[in-house]
Structure 1
Amino acid sequence: MNFEQFLLILRARLWLVFGVLVVVVATTATVSLLLPKQYAATASVVVDAKGIDMLSGMQMQAMLMPSYMATQVDIINSDRVAQRVIGLLKLNEVSQFREQWREETQGRGSFDKWLIDMLIKRLDVKPSRESNVINIGFSWPDPRTAAQFANAFAQAYIDTNLELRVEPARQYATFFAERTKVIREEIEAAQRRLSDFQRENGITAADERLDIETARLNELSSQLVAVQGARVDSQSRQRQAANRDTMPEVLQSSLISGLKAELAKLEARREELTNRLGRNHPEYQRTESEIGSLRDRIDQETRKVVSSLGANTQVNLQRESEIRASLDAQRERVLQLKNQRDELTVLQNDVANAQRTYDALSQRLTQTSLESEIQQTNISLLNAATEPLRHASPKLLLNLVVAIFLGTLLGVGTALMLELLDKRIRGTQDLQIVLGGIPVLGVIQDAGAVFRPRRGLRRLLGAR
């Protein structure tokens, strides 16, 4: 089918196309006039998406995401917001709605769920392009009621948004309160263990006490080294006691030196008396007796010096033993203090760790408690809905334009369908197709005549 054939078909069945168009337009107009008028009221809310937390002052990245506005639209269309609208307007107490529910559902199902579905069907939520404004529209036969519903949805959305923000904060506040109580008990228990340990061991200042005991240990170590040196020295001198005359103590003794000097004088006098008087002279005998007495005294004094060296060695040995015992006891004391300090450090760390945890939990508890009591949200009512002056539906002019378009399409489609069911010869091209390509010699112009071959002729033409 070419365009000329299409125009010929429309020309032949123009009244059919026009009739279908008239029927569709008339039906649309009648239905539009008979349908009840619906009024649409719109309330606007603005979403502050700066993403700044009012308490902490920190930026909240979730509000800056592209999906944030879509999430807000879903919240407005949720059953939770519709349920809050029912509560605000007390719709479940309206007998008209309850009767309508019984008529439609025969009393089956939930009345609140039916109300929610009915409200959401009439709700129209549209976010503005490239802005943070959301338009909440609601349609209803009565303009005042439509405005009330739109404003109720806006208020319910604001309340729900605040509730969604406050509820997690309340849950966190409850959790942090419980944890804070547990950590406080742990701090008290750790502090009691620390106090009991200090009281049992008499610890007031662990580091200072350890420093004193360590200094005492170092002093005893120094004393032990000194005593050991003195003991070694006295033992060395004692071993030199065989040569008493050459011992330093003997040589350094003034008494022995004086006695030896006096002995030397007597021995010199004895030599003189020997040469002058002889050995048998009484004077010589008396001098010899004095020399013997003097030598005995020198020997006695020498033995005293040697014996004093042995006594010093014994004293040094005893003192070394005592200092060594004190040193071992002091070393054990220092080790015990170090163990006590280590245990004390562990207990102090337990208290400090519990205190840090308690401080962190207390800070979070304070913040979440404030968040759970906040009454501000980032949603604000921009424009309240007012009673619309004109109805939103049905739109007669728009419906007529659509009806004309659809009626025209339906009429043309009907004409083409009838043409396919009842094929007619509309022009020379149709005749050539029927005659199998035989050329047409001429055409008689008659606008009012339409050639329609009879059955016999059609059979003949079909056979050829």
Structure 2
Amino acid sequence: MANIEHTIDRRAIHAVTDNEDGEDIDLLDLWRSIWRRKWSIASLVAVSVMLAALVLLSIAPVFRATATLIIEQKAAKVVSIEQVYGLDGSGNEYLQTQFELLRSRSLAERVVRELNLTTHREFDPRQQPAPLLDLGSLLSNLKLNQLIPFTRPEDLEEEVAPTEEQIFDRVTRAFMARIRVTPQGKTQLVKVEVDMADAPLAARAANALAKGFIESQLEASMEMSMSATNWMNGRLGDLRTKLKEAEYRLQTYREKENLVDVQGVATVTANELSLTGDRMIDARRQRAEAESQYRQVESMRRGGWEKLATLPAVLGHTLIQQFKAEEARARAKVEELSKRYGPRHPSMESAQTELKAATASLRGQVEQIVAGIERNYQLAVANESSLRASFDANKAQIQDISRKEFRLRELQREVETNRALYETFMNRLKETSATSDLESANARIVDAATEPDTPISPRVSLVLAMVGLLALVVSVGLTLLLEALNNTFKRTEDIENKLNLPVLGVLPLVKAKNERKHVARLFHNNTDRAFAESVRTMRTSLVLAGMDRPHKRIVITSSTPEEGKSSISANLASALAQMGDRVLLVDADMRRPTLAKLFELPVGTPGLANILAGTATLQECLRELDGVSVITAGTVPPNPLELLCSARFEPLMLELVKGYDRIIIDSPPTQAVSDALVLGSMADALIYVVKAESTAVPLVVKGVGQLLQRNAPVIGVVLNQVDVGRARKYGYGYDGYYDYYGYSTQQSAR
């Protein structure tokens, strides 16, 4: 049993902690809350529907007449003049424009004049009855009285009657407010709807709008056609003058520049420029080659003709090769003869002469070739310069021809543009003049409006259904709001779910006009069988909770005063005494003592405070009442908590435990003072009392949490003052906690 109690304590602490974070929504609880107030909800819905029906019956019905038009996106192209006066409809913007024209004020004014709506009783402000309460005039008079507090009513000027223009303006605005233009999907059809209380007039107004729209389109077309004709006549003269001026400028320029075949001249010059460019490229290449050879010659000139003879351009020459061969043979001959003869020998002298002649011939040929290289370089440079000058001259000539050609084409384009404009305006003018009397419209009536049979408003059935639904939603919302605001314990399931503690008993509400002292002794007197059976159920739960280790010191507490903990303490003590136990009832609420009053003891009877203070003995404080020993609170001390925490309280409890089987301790509320926490720490069991549909859930959660955190042995909860009849009516059940409710309910019904 100790393990079971420890498990219950841990689950209770966890449940209290989780309850602070939030609770899941129980749909069954919501339905029960709604069902409890079903008649109130039904009454509110019925009253709302009846009031709405009365209001709807007082409202005049409104009829809607509908005429259907088809608006073509493009006007009939008898004359292709749309670009001139804006009838080119090639998109959604065109249809939107036509819809806005149907809603325009000018069209509405046309219908108002045609149907003479300014004299109709539905629109004429002079024929309409005055409102029962004119807030506007009331406020204006109020402001006027504040500004001129001493002005008498007869001194104020009479209200000026509205003029015809003002009446016409009001009627037009009122009529425009009753017009609806509705496009029909992705088609060219549009519905023109007019809402009025007069059904025949509504049909006439819808047809008048449709016809007026078509006529206004025709009138606008004719007016724009005439305006376009007049404008084009004036514009045509200007274009003719501009064309002549452009032709004269073109001819003058041709004569001035002697231009006959600009394209041919430009072609010949371009061909010459191309050939000159090719030749200049060849000349530049030749000049580069000659310049290269010339540079080599210049670099070798200081080394003499022998150095020049080593140049590739010189060595590659055929004559140079022959002369070099002859010189080599002569030199070889000299060397050969020098081995046999002396320098004076005739053969040696002849050989020396041949060598000198060969060397002189070679030198002369080298110098001749070098001179040829210099001449080739000078010719190449001169040729390149000549070709470049010719190329530049051809290029300048082409640029000059291009400028003249550009100017010529500019003048030709100007002439062609002016001629095209002139011919276009001439053709359009002829077309417009030929068809100026032809009327064409881009809209026509598909279905004319007929007199409506049924009104569109007020829709009685729909409005009543919406009012009923709204009233139902509001009433259900109010019910749930009231239920949410009533955050109390109503059923045993609430205690078990929110506190995770067992319910030891459920005590019914005693409706008889009895004083509290009578309720405290109700079990002993046995005048209410249902109440007595409920106390027995609570007693049985207490005994079963202490089968392994009987609970001797039992503390009974609650969250707030007036929850019935003292009455429960007295009745539970009587029930335990009926079992044969020696029971002691102790009033530990020394701040607001109750037991002395309940048992009608005289004022000043000594009790627990006197024992702890040492002003009275235990025997002087004990009273035997209804088979139960009672110790009252005694004289109210200034420091009750200090007395409970004193060194005398615990030895007193140990002494009392030896003499009694059960000690019932009536403790102060947990939310008022901390006495219950001290008493709970010394108890074997603690019973928490909750007043049904009265004590707020957060208070109980906080109180139980504080006790469990101090390791107080909370074994269960007693739900007190339960209105059984009301609970069963609302669907609450307490079966299993007492057995005589059915009997007592039947008896009361009889």
| TM-score, normalising length: structure 1 | 0.54
Aligned-partner Cα distance in 2 for 1:22–1:454: 43
Residue type at the aligned position of 1:177: N
Corresponding residue of 1:421: 485
Q: 1:187 to 1:67 in 2, by over 3 A?
A: closer
Aligned-partner Cα distance in 1 for 2:88–2:244: 40
Give the secondary structure class of the aligned counterpart of 1:135: strand
Alignment of 1:12 onto 2:36: yes
Aligned-partner Cα distance in 2 for 1:366–1:99: 55
Alignment of 1:89 onto 2:115: yes
* 1:77 pairs with one of 96, 103, 119: 103
Residue type at the aligned position of 1:155: K
Q: 1:444 to 1:73 in 2, by over 3 A?
A: farther
Give the secondary structure class of the aligned counterpart of 2:126: helix
Within 5 Å, which residues of 2 pair with 1:176-215? 176-183=232-239
Residue type at the aligned position of 2:111: V
Q: 1:92 to 1:169 in 2, by over 3 A?
A: farther
Question: 8 Å contact 1:183–1:358 — kept in the other structure?
Answer: yes
* 2:495 pairs with one of 412, 428, 431: 431
Alignment of 1:397 onto 2:458: no
Q: 1:87 to 1:359 in 2, by over 3 A?
A: farther
Give the secondary structure class of the aligned counterpart of 1:146: helix
Question: 8 Å contact 1:147–1:385 — kept in the other structure?
Answer: yes
Q: 1:75 to 1:12 in 2, by over 3 A?
A: same
Aligned-partner Cα distance in 2 for 1:166–1:455: 95
Aligned-partner Cα distance in 2 for 1:444–1:380: 85
Q: CA deviation at 1:162?
A: 3.2
Q: CA deviation at 1:44?
A: 0.8
Residue type at the aligned position of 2:454: R
Residue type at the aligned position of 1:404: G
Aligned-partner Cα distance in 2 for 1:174–1:48: 28
Alignment of 1:33 onto 2:57: yes
Residue type at the aligned position of 2:228: Y
Corresponding residue of 2:178: 122
Aligned-partner Cα distance in 2 for 1:444–1:158: 86
Give the secondary structure class of the aligned counterpart of 1:99: coil
Aligned-partner Cα distance in 2 for 1:354–1:62: 25
Q: 1:364 to 1:111 in 2, by over 3 A?
A: farther
Corresponding residue of 1:386: 450
Higher RCO (Cα < 8 Å, 6 or more apart) = 1
Residue type at the aligned position of 1:140: M
Question: 8 Å contact 1:9–1:426 — kept in the other structure?
Answer: no
Residue type at the aligned position of 1:439: P
Aligned-partner Cα distance in 2 for 1:64–1:164: 19
Q: Deviations over 1:32-62 (max 9, x none)?
A: 2111011111111112336652324999995
Residue type at the aligned position of 2:475: G
Alignment of 1:148 onto 2:204: yes
Q: 1:378 to 1:454 in 2, by over 3 A?
A: farther
Question: 8 Å contact 1:5–1:427 — kept in the other structure?
Answer: no
Q: CA deviation at 1:413?
A: 1.2
Give the secondary structure class of the aligned counterpart of 2:446: strand
Residue type at the aligned position of 2:60: P
Q: 1:119 to 1:430 in 2, by over 3 A?
A: farther
Aligned-partner Cα distance in 2 for 1:130–1:351: 48
Q: 1:33 to 1:350 in 2, by over 3 A?
A: closer
Residue type at the aligned position of 2:183: P
Aligned-partner Cα distance in 2 for 1:7–1:353: 87
Corresponding residue of 1:55: 79
Aligned-partner Cα distance in 2 for 1:165–1:115: 29
Gaps of 5+ in 1: 194-348, 446-452
Residue type at the aligned position of 1:99: R
Corresponding residue of 2:27: 3
Question: 8 Å contact 2:74–2:88 — kept in the other structure?
Answer: no
Q: Deviations over 1:47-79 (max 9, x none)?
A: 233665232499999534234433332221222
Corresponding residue of 1:136: 192
Alignment of 1:157 onto 2:213: yes
Give the secondary structure class of the aligned counterpart of 1:417: helix
Q: 1:362 to 1:406 in 2, by over 3 A?
A: same
Q: CA deviation at 1:138?
A: 0.8
Aligned-partner Cα distance in 2 for 1:172–1:58: 11
Aligned-partner Cα distance in 2 for 1:130–1:353: 42
Give the secondary structure class of the aligned counterpart of 1:152: helix
* 2:475 pairs with one of 387, 395, 411: 411
Aligned-partner Cα distance in 1 for 2:56–2:129: 28
Alignment of 1:366 onto 2:430: yes
Q: CA deviation at 1:430?
A: 3.1
Q: 1:190 to 1:417 in 2, by over 3 A?
A: closer
Aligned-partner Cα distance in 1 for 2:486–2:216: 66
Aligned-partner Cα distance in 2 for 1:61–1:355: 26
Whose helix fraction is larger, Structure 1's or Structure 2's?
1
Q: CA deviation at 1:376?
A: 1.7
Aligned-partner Cα distance in 1 for 2:460–2:221: 45
Aligned-partner Cα distance in 1 for 2:416–2:95: 46
Q: Deviations over 1:117-151 (max 9, x none)?
A: 21222112212223221111111111111111111
Residue type at the aligned position of 2:468: I
Residue type at the aligned position of 1:97: D
Residue type at the aligned position of 1:384: A
Question: 8 Å contact 2:74–2:87 — kept in the other structure?
Answer: no
Question: 8 Å contact 1:40–1:138 — kept in the other structure?
Answer: yes
Q: CA deviation at 1:27?
A: 1.9
Question: 8 Å contact 2:37–2:479 — kept in the other structure?
Answer: yes
Question: 8 Å contact 1:46–1:382 — kept in the other structure?
Answer: yes
Q: 1:70 to 1:357 in 2, by over 3 A?
A: closer
Aligned-partner Cα distance in 2 for 1:378–1:74: 15
Question: 8 Å contact 2:200–2:451 — kept in the other structure?
Answer: yes
Q: Deviations over 1:320-364 (max 9, x none)?
A: xxxxxxxxxxxxxxxxxxxxxxxxxxxxx9999977655432322
Deviates more, 1:409-418 or 1:141-150: 409-418
Give the secondary structure class of the aligned counterpart of 2:483: helix
RMSD across aligned C-alpha pairs, in angstroms? 4.6
Aligned-partner Cα distance in 2 for 1:50–1:395: 40
Aligned-partner Cα distance in 1 for 2:496–2:71: 72
Give the secondary structure class of the aligned counterpart of 1:97: coil
Question: 8 Å contact 1:5–1:426 — kept in the other structure?
Answer: no
Residue type at the aligned position of 1:146: A
Within 5 Å, which residues of 2 pair with 1:281-430? 358-369=422-433, 373-423=437-487, 425-430=489-494
Residue type at the aligned position of 1:395: R
Question: 8 Å contact 1:9–1:416 — kept in the other structure?
Answer: yes
Aligned-partner Cα distance in 1 for 2:503–2:221: 86
